[in-house]
A and B are shown apart, each in its own frame.
Chain A
């Protein structure tokens, strides 16, 4: 079939349909036509709104599917980051060999940690947050990761302003002490170091001296 013939057939079909429309319009007066036109305009708006509703439903379905899919990696590998209720639960799930607990805590800090997030994949890491005995405020955060990991990714509380940064040697470990103001507006300080297998970071609202003592209590 030549292209012209194909086009002519297509055109004939369109003319036939348009002819039917014209015949219908011949039977209706202008008033009816105006009403029909008005109705069609209204239905256009309804069509758009119907589309919005359908799209909302579809996006809820997509969001649910994504959320469900997000649970799958944790079913395959239990080591992905999640919140834990206690250190015992972390040890049961991830193994206890890596968690270092300081042997010194300043007064006024409530034990056990109020918030724990830990993971084994893609690298080993844990953050333990401690609250004050007097309030619900987080006053101490201890982060530990293996050397593949970065302590930054476990920081829930961070510096808004660093006033001083000093390098110290604690028990022959090179450590960096920072003093400044935290996101929550409190004065805070942090100390960061690493040994042969792990990185550590302590962020505290106690005095820098107390923070260094906590760090010392973690270096064996």
Chain B
């Protein structure tokens, strides 16, 4: 059996354990800060949530640089919390580090099954679909689809040449980012949506493309992947992604000035529950997935058309929260 004490007192071990506990503290403080300062704007909420992801990840080397003795026994004696004391405490004859290990293993499995594999599959699927189903350039695009897209794009900052039509009846619309961003729309969605709905949905995707020019989410995803064992990072990253959808909704409303159309478009894209009714574990899993997707969509629908007004100075609130978390976590070793 490996020397668990040597592992936990090594630089890597201390980093891993402290990142986890510091994320928990950061998450708690950020949630309280959002309530105390009544932060409601998605862009501000996302900025606060990014603290939970970035700060614990970045601060450990800085703490050690400020005080190389921070991990020593003597610092621990006077610290606010010595995590190792908890980890080596035996409850019913079992050291608590087994519990921590179980949580980390479980989170890693969830990360691989729910995030990493689906992302790879989605990437391959989108590539194969765009290659197989996209109407070839030499193909004559159905006139009515092009006309509808042109009408919907009127006044929006996006060119029709960068929209790829996928020959499929599903209601799907997604975008790719990069140097030449593209929007992919199925013939199904172009057919089912009227001009205003299509315009709102396209504006939402334009929002994603505009936002992708600031690669903060990409960096956040990389950090989240490095912290694959951290359940707090998993939860927070999902919240960050949900806020991103809301931010793009706001951009869509700003571009179209038609919240009603966006509301309808999102509502129309909500899948029918019956489609997910399956038996066994697969059924439960798809029901859960459907439920969480449904909650997220409802959340988005409920805020469309509402006004977000921040009573507090969010920059001051943000800076103060960062200082508070960084200060508190310094004494948690």
Contact = CB atoms under 8 A, between A and B. Distances in A.
A73 B312 contact: no
B64 interface: no
A66 B80 contact: yes
A117 B74 contact: yes
Nearest to A4: B264
Interface in B74-123: 74, 76-77, 79-82, 84-86, 88-91
Interface string B3-26: 111101100000000000000010
A7 B217 CA distance: 31
A11 B80 contact: no
Given A66-B81, A67-B80, A48 B312 contact: yes
Interface of A: 3-4, 6-8, 10-11, 14, 43-45, 47-48, 51-52, 54-56, 58-59, 62-63, 66-67, 69-70, 72-74, 76-77, 80-83, 117, 119, 121-123, 148-150, 153-156
13 contacts: A6-B263, A6-B301, A14-B305, A51-B33, A51-B317, A55-B321, A66-B81, A67-B81, A70-B81, A72-B89, A121-B88, A122-B5, A148-B5
A184 B198 CA distance: 72
A44 B313 contact: yes
Contacts of A119: 73
B318 to A, nearest CB: 11
Contacts of A55: 29, 32-33, 36, 320-321, 324
A156 B86 CA distance: 23
A73 B306 contact: no
Nearest to B95: A122
B125 interface: no
Contacts of B81: 66-67, 69-70
A56 to B, nearest CB: 8
A10 B267 CA distance: 14
Contacts of B311: 43-44, 47
B317 A48 contact: yes
A44 to B, nearest CB: 6
B210 interface: no
Nearest to B302: A10
B264 A7 contact: yes
B260 interface: yes
Contacts of B304: 7
Interface in B298-314: 301-302, 304-307, 311-313
A55 to B, nearest CB: 6
Contact of B74 (A10, A66, A156): A156
Nearest to A44: B311
B192 to A, nearest CB: 14
Q: How many B residues touch the partner, as a band?
A: 35 or more
B9 to A, nearest CB: 6
Contacts of B3: 148
A58 B77 contact: no
Which 8 pairs of residues, A with B, have the shortest CB-CB distance? A3-B267, A122-B88, A7-B263, A73-B85, A73-B89, A48-B312, A51-B37, A48-B313
B89 to A, nearest CB: 4
Given A44-B311, A62-B25, A148-B3, A82 B267 contact: no
Contacts of A123: 5
B235 interface: no
B85 A117 contact: no
Contact of A58 (B32, B85, B86): B32
A154 B302 CA distance: 57
Given A48-B37, A123-B5, A62 B312 contact: no
Contacts of B74: 117, 156
Contact of B73 (A3, A51, A154): A154
B332 interface: yes
B171 to A, nearest CB: 14
Contacts of B82: 70
